[in-house]
Amino acid sequence: MRRFALLLWLCGCVVPERDMYLWLEEIESEKALEWVRAHNEKSLELLTADPQYAEIEAQARAILLAKDRIPAPDLRGGWVVNFWQDADHPRGLWRRARPAEYEKPEPAWETMLDLDALARDEGENWVWKGATTLPPDHDRAMLFLSRGGKDATVVREFDVPSRSFVAGGFALPEAKSRVSWLDRDTLFVGTDFGPGTLTKSGYPRQVRLWKRGTPHLDAPLVFEGAEEDVSVSAFTSFRPEGSFTFVARAKTFFEADMFLRAEDGQLRKLPFPDDASFEGIFQGHLLATLRSEWRGFPAGALVSVPVDRPDAAEAVYRPDERSSVTRVSTARQHLVLNVLSNVQGRVVKVRRTQGWELEPVALPDGGSAGVVSADPFDDRVYVGYESFLVPYTLYAIGRDVRPVRRLPERFDARRLAVDQFEAQSPDGTRVPYFVIRRDDLAFDGSNPTLLYGYGGFEISMTPAYMAVAGKAWLEKGGVFALANIRGGGEFGPKWHRAALKENRQRAYDDFISVAEDLVRRRVTSPRRLGIMGGSNGGLLVGAAFTQRPYLFHAVVCQVPLLDMLRYHKLLAGHSWMAEYGDPEDPEMAEVIRRYSPYQNVRPRTEYPHVFFVTSTKDDRVHPGHARKMAAKMEAQGHDILYYENIEGGHSAAANLEQRVKRTALEYTYLFRQLVD
């Protein structure tokens, strides 16, 4: 075998590296879980015994479980619906109140479902994954309940007025199901109907029309996609002027065939390009945000097309080079847009008269502002504003803008300042980033600094109130930096596309450039610099520390992708090939191999001490990524820490108690690495 490998090497052929740790991809195997428990024990023993752990844990608990948090409003049928977790209800309460009651300092809530009681009565580890309710009254709901935090859910019909599950009602066994209402007795359903009904990504390949009282397996087919697609679904947009039903065939993560479904079941393809993001319908106008130029409208523009005149396209909103539309919401008589301008948020109301009329909503500058909830049957809209140092404030907008609730201050921000700097990436691109620091910071390289990033899937990193980090990190002299690297959506589709597939290295170059700029400005030094990221951000920090090991002294790698030559074979990974490329393509595989952390960690390189955090129940990003990387680094002689929540899903925390613990572990680790 060695002679054969030598011959391959001499002729210039690539010899695949044997993966010694594939057994760690067996999520629930006893051997793998024994490895997990041993590493958990080691990490917990070390970190919880640290004198700082108890203080950080108490601070995180006081903030995350505080009774005076703002209950997030969800407007549905004249009610404010909210899902609430606290120390007394760690799994949570699904509850509601009328808007006038909700806006009181101490609202009287009507509990619809106590998830803790349900879990106790049924002997299940239920984690809330949301509910879809039937407009306009919202008196019937399909509840999504997860065992331990997985994306896969059990779906059950719930009667809201009686606060009870419907006997003999709609119900689905555990799967990654998609369900939406057509009317009180009819659902569109996509689920695991048996062999050949799921895509390679593990999502529904079929959508069917399910009538009450019939088995879901017998429901007639509405649409079927290809095995290579990401998923197929259908949904109805309910509005005062009428209802419209749509079928979506997601061919990739960023491309979809969208169809308007007639009452007779006929499908008419919408006129937008496949890579447009369909935003729904408003007063007879179909809406989409463009990812590429179309009919003279630039990428990033929000455009409209009348349902009955597909050639009569108009621009609703045209962002500039440093702006992007990040969300479109519909109320009864107006649209509400979330807009980013140089990574700072604004809200814009849009009305339809002779054309589209724009009206900026008067909110504070210098932070993040956006819609929290809107209902197509209501003119009331809730929006929120926050910044790194200013607590979250909830506003109601109608004819005017009025504050409804304000989060109490969680840390002392009086001596803190926020800067927005730019770093230059190797190709000359200017990459913005925020720095939150003491206002009397000595720029001498001695400051413990945590740099956070994501850089993928067109997701923007925006200012957010730093409740826990402010108390546990900033108050104690730590510096926090947030990088707005390519791959994200901060400046629209072009910013995202710049780091796709063969250009993925640009995201890592951007992040490393921000780190180097922090050192150049003497905010910090490699000895005092730590990095953190989760999911795609876990891949980001994995690539960063394997490419520039001398630049960092701490790495918190959360629920990460790390083995990028196998990511498409693990759980939902196949659905992300539009982002990362296909490892089965030899040319793309070579691009991926150059940055994939698992393939690039070396035994004779000195790496920073890494803390891997993941979850057994994460059925989106496979825990095998973190397990295998940790095992390989240990075998090479590197010192690492590893913690895997045996439940918790993609957030690595199934409830607030678990989030408290994870937060305390991570910040204790950071203090040990960067401060001690």
Are 452 and 375 contacting, i.e. CB atoms less than 8 angstroms apart? no
Which of 535, 575, 596, 615 does the annotation list as catalytic? 535
Closest CA to 624 of 146, 658, 632, 228: 632
Pull the structure tokens for residue 659: 């989030």
Closest CA to 613 of 43, 22, 26, 27: 43
Residue 136, burial from CB neighbour count under 10 angstroms (0-12, 13-18, 19+): middle
The dihedral through the CA atoms of 293, 296, 301, 303 has a sign that is negative
Are 664 and 56 contacting, i.e. CB atoms less than 8 angstroms apart? yes
**CA trace torsion 617, 623, 627, 630 (10° rounding):** -120
Pull the structure tokens for residue 667: 């910040």
Closest CA to 235 of 91, 134, 312: 134
Residue 556, burial from CB neighbour count under 10 angstroms (0-12, 13-18, 19+): buried
Q: Which residues lie below 8 Å from residue 533, measured CB to CB, with a gap of 6+?
A: 452, 453, 454, 539, 540, 541, 556, 557, 558, 560
Are 84 and 113 contacting, i.e. CB atoms less than 8 angstroms apart? no
CB atoms within 10 A of CB 123: 7
How far does CA 142 lie from the centroid of its chain? 22
Pull the structure tokens for residue 245: 């039903």
CB atoms within 10 A of CB 144: 20
The answer to whether 304 is a known catalytic residue is no
Phi, psi of 8 (to 5 degrees): -60, -40
CB atoms within 10 A of CB 527: 14
Q: What 8-state DSSP symbol labels residue 23?
A: G
Closest CA to 554 of 393, 668, 431, 435: 668
- Amino acid identity of residue 553, one-letter, is H
The dihedral through the CA atoms of 299, 303, 306, 311 has a sign that is negative
Are 178 and 647 contacting, i.e. CB atoms less than 8 angstroms apart? no
C-alpha distance from residue 657 to each of 14, 65, 88, 260 (Å): 48, 8, 11, 44
The answer to whether 574 is a known catalytic residue is no
Which of 496, 574, 622, 650 does the annotation list as catalytic? 650
Give the residue numbers marked as catalytic: 535, 650
